[in-house]
Amino acid sequence: MQTRLDLLTRSLPEFGQDRGQSVQVPVTGTSDNSFGKTLTRVINEVSDTRDNAGDLTQRFANGENVELHQVMAASEEAGIALDMLIELRNKVVEAYRSVISMQS
């Protein structure tokens, strides 16, 4: 059985590939690989996933030709994506607090 993290990391191309090498992501800059742009892209993908699940749920409720398993899968995917985003936020806050406490 796959865990929620396995399912989520498989859906994100940066995490799902076994490259055997690390990739450095610049913190600042205008390149497509900057941390800010990556974070913005991930947040937008989570939002799109949530919107897709809501759309499928609404279409199912209206009696359109949408299967229940599609609605459930989309809802679960949106939940997993949101859980990962919340954990990412928690880790960033934890790292920030760690850096601030080192300065004291």
> Could you report the per-residue pLDDT of 74-104, keeping only the tens digit for each?
999 999 999 999 999 999 999 999 999 987 6
List, in order, residues 6 or more apart from 59 with CB less than 8 Å away. Answer: 66
What integer pLDDT is reported at residue 38 of this predicted model?
Answer: 87
Note the pTM of the prediction, 2 decimals: 0.64
List, in order, residues 6 or more apart from 41 with CB less than 8 Å away. Answer: none
What integer pLDDT is reported at residue 16 of this predicted model?
Answer: 43
What integer pLDDT is reported at residue 24 of this predicted model?
Answer: 56
Contact 28, 34 (CB under 8 A): yes
CA–CA gap between residue 11 and residue 88 (Å, rounded)? 16
* More confident: 56 or 9: 56
Q: Alpha helices of 1-104 — where are they, by DSSP H?
A: 4-11, 13-16, 35-61, 68-103
For residue 49, pLDDT beyond 80: yes
